[in-house]
Amino acid sequence: MTAHPNPAIERAMTSVAAAVSQAEADPARPRYHFRPPAQWMNDPNGVIFHNGWYHLFYQHNPYGDAWGHIHWGHARSRDLVHWEHLPIALWPSLELNEAHCFSGCAALDGLGRPLLIYTSVPNQEDGRPPFTQRAAVGDPDWIHWQKHPANPILALETHGGPPFEPDWRDPFVFHEAGRAFLVLAGSYDDMAGVALYEAADASLTRWDYRGLLYQTPRSDARLLECPNFVRIGDKWLLLTSPFRPVEYVTGSFDVALLRFTPEQRGVLDPGATDAPNYYATNILFDAAGRSILLGWVRGFPAGRAWNGCLALPRILTIGDDGHPRQQPIPELQQLRGRERPLAPGVIRPGAPVMAHTPSDTFELEAVIETGNAGAVTLRLGCADDGGGGIAIRSDGQTLDVAGTVVAIPAGEEPAQLALQIFLDKSVLEVYVNGGRLCVTRVVEPPRAGVGVSLAAEGGNAELRAFRLWEMRGIW
């Protein structure tokens, strides 16, 4: 491999390469979720579809499997399933006192050049110098990046109004009515908000402050990290990551008045009860006009030379009820390998039914009618008697995914539970009733062996449909 022309990136990539064999040896590391070659990743950044490629950048520490030294890793894909790792794209310019390249987005400037827009975090050792928003320009292949001569493209002086705190970050660009806008997470006094800016020209390096798009008291959230604001059909969706599970607000946006009017709100993916396992989302629109949601799976144990991965890409839509629906992209079906059967039928208490598979990387679709059973329990990686493993239990009203208990939103068929489950070693994603509810969990991988069991309590339940495919890896 030839050396990278940028010594800072060369050093970083050498460090990642040295950790690959340890990361690969870990049996808990996911096989069909995107992750860096080794070491730490957090938020997906700069996700975009351009010239037939899906580009993914991500917060990356090349020097360890914990957060720090934040660079932007880079990968690309033709199908959102198989990824090609590319050289690290952004590095902290230490000589400019830049310590980290925080989250941001990708866009094309008026000359058609790729831009990465990110939050530049200065070395905080001497006082707390404020963050700035900066850009980097890419070559036509999107491989090599230079810091933009116009930097910083946004500084606190831009506002002329209330100063945001040093924590002022995570630019996200959207276009509407032929105008380019950008949202950022910012807070001041007792308010955490989403600040709105409009591009003064097509360079996307000059921005005017347009006020707050959205706000909440600081007592509710310290900062609304990683705001995403997009139009899906005729509704608008705001996602924020407020140091707890990602929250959504849907509503209408009046582009003449620049006013967002919320209608519905909720939690996008609850994760574990003590910490979000799904966080810091990003959204892209592809050639077919689909809005694709990407998020970071977090909460893995340290010390394994890798930490963090991307959740499966999800198609994001908004239902007639104004709440989002998340569904795994159909492209993932190409990973389906051997199928393991389980016949539909009645499940009687004390007599669990079982599908046998030695695999801990599979996809499972099940439709369960609770019937007169008080509860049904599905166990992934169960023992010979159908017990043990990772439990997913429903009493008809609530769903318990490995200890995370959530209410099941009322659906068209109240007594029926349609589950689409992905287990990938230590990552579990559960999609319920057409994606009205989604739960991502980091789990202990089940001991390989027996398979999946389904048990009823207190009465008969019925298994209407069941399909299980062992999944191939993507690397």
Q: Does 102 bind ligand FRU (CB under 6 A)?
A: yes
Q: Which of 19, 30, 37, 43 binds ligand FRU (CB under 6 A)?
A: 43
CB neighbour class for 44 (10 Å; exposed up to 12, middle 13-18, buried from 19) = buried
Cβ distance to ligand FRU smaller for residue 103 or 132: 103
- 396-400: long-range contacts (C-beta < 8 A, 24 or more apart)? 396/370, 399/430, 399/432, 399/437, 399/439
Nearer to ligand FRU, 131 or 469 (CB): 131
Of 119 and 187, nearer to ligand FRU (C-beta) is: 119
Give the shortest CB-259-to-ligand FRU separation in angstroms.
Answer: 25
> Under rule CB under 6 A, which residues in 239-268 are in contact with ligand FRU?
241
User: Can you tell me which of 9, 12, 29, 42 binds ligand FRU, judged by CB under 6 A?
Assistant: 42
Q: Residues 193, 214: contact at Cβ < 8 Å? A: yes
- Residue 337 CA: distances (Å) to CA of 69, 150, 167, 333, 472: 39, 50, 46, 9, 6
65 in contact with ligand FRU (CB under 6 A)? no
Smallest distance from ligand FRU to CB 426, Å: 20
Residue 426 in contact with ligand FRU, rule: CB under 6 A: no
Residue 397 CB, nearest approach to ligand FRU (Å):
32
Which of 13, 36, 37, 103 touches ligand FRU (CB under 6 A)? 103
Q: Which is nearer to ligand FRU, 59 or 359 (CB)?
A: 59
Exactly one of 16, 47, 272, 280 binds ligand FRU (CB under 6 A); that residue is 280
d(CA 309, CA 64): 15
Minimum CB distance to ligand FRU, residue 74 (Å): 15
Q: How far is the CB of 30 from ligand FRU (least distance, A)?
A: 19
Least distance to ligand FRU from the beta carbon of 121, Å?
8
327 burial class (0-12, 13-18, 19+ CB within 10 angstroms)?
middle
CB atoms near residue 393 (< 10 Å)? 17
Closer CB to ligand FRU, 100 or 304, in the complex: 100
Does position 269 interact with ligand FRU (CB under 6 A)? The reply is: no
Angle made by CA atoms 444, 445, 451, in degrees to the nearest 5: 130
Beta 39-50 vs 306-307: how paired, if at all?
Answer: parallel
* Nearest partner of 184 among 220, 147, 210, 152, judged by Cα: 210
Residue type, 57: F
Cα separation, 158 vs 469, whole angstroms: 54
Interaction of residue 16 with ligand FRU, rule CB under 6 A: no
CB-CB contact of 228 with 283 (8 Å): yes
SS3 58: strand
Q: Does 282 bind ligand FRU (CB under 6 A)?
A: no
* 434 three-class SS: helix
SS3 79: coil
Asked if 101 is part of the footprint of ligand FRU (rule: CB under 6 A), the reply reads: no
Query: Where in 127-186 is the site for ligand FRU (CB under 6 A)?
Result: 169-170
Considering only 13, 48, 70, 364, the residue that binds ligand FRU (CB under 6 A) is 70
Task: Kindly list the strands in the beta sheet with 353-356, ordered across the sheet, starting from the edge strand earlier in the chain.
Answer: 353-356, 451-457, 375-382, 390-394, 398-401, 404-407
Among 9, 221, 226, 355, binds ligand FRU (CB under 6 A): 226
Question: C-beta of 70: minimal distance to ligand FRU in Å?
Answer: 5
For position 205 contacting ligand FRU by CB under 6 A, the verdict is no
Q: Interface with ligand FRU includes 187 (CB under 6 A)?
A: no
Question: By CB under 6 A, what part of segment 44-63 binds ligand FRU?
Answer: 59
CA pair distance 106, 135, nearest whole angstrom: 9
Minimum CB separation of residue 185 from ligand FRU in Å reads 7
Please tell me the chain's helix, strand, coil percentages from 3-state DSSP, rounded to the nearest 5. Answer: 5, 50, 40
Of residues 171 and 381, the one with the C-beta less far from ligand FRU? 171
Give the type of residue at 341.
Answer: P
Quick one: 213 or 419, whose CB is closer to ligand FRU? 213
Least distance between ligand FRU and beta carbon 466 (Å): 37
Question: Token pair 């040896």 is at which residue?
Answer: 25
Binding site for ligand FRU (CB under 6 A): 42-43, 59, 70, 102-103, 119, 169-170, 225-226, 241, 279-280
